[in-house]
Amino acid sequence: MIKERNIAVSIILSIVTCGIYYFYWIAALSNESSIYLGEEPSGGLEVLFTLLTCNIYGIYWGYKMGQKLYDVQARTSNTPSDDSMLYLLLNLFQFPIVSLAIMQSKLNAVASRNPQF
């Protein structure tokens, strides 16, 4: 089930909790999109790999998540957009919170179009 999250609150919680909520947010986005696509959720592994590789995997995760969000949008929208490179560049240049906010915005749009998911 895709949960609509308030993006501003998520950003504030990520800052106030010194990044703990940020990692929860990564896991939640990954799990929700995987479940929607009928895949095995792996959000915990995504966070673990990001921590173990000092965020190198997190850069790749942004790209991979962009492709996954494209697939989610393709199932619900007539005009899906592939923002994989945008997420990759945002994560590479140390703006991962911006990429998470954009990802959450896209998932919020999917959740509002399909309330059963």
Mean pLDDT, contiguous 10-residue spans, the chain (117 residues):
93 97 97 94 96 96 97 88 96 96 95 76
pLDDT of residue 117: 56
Amino acid at 108: N
pLDDT of residue 114: 77
- Is 2 within a domain? no
CA dihedral of residues 16, 19, 21, 26 (deg, nearest 10) = 150
110, 2 in Cβ contact below 8 A? yes
- Is 38 within a domain? yes
pLDDT of residue 79: 85
**pTM to 2 decimals?**
0.92
pLDDT of residue 10: 97
- Is 91 within a domain? yes
pLDDT of residue 55: 94
pLDDT of residue 116: 66
Residue range(s) defining the domain that contains residue 22: 7-113
Domain total in the chain: 1
- Is 1 within a domain? no
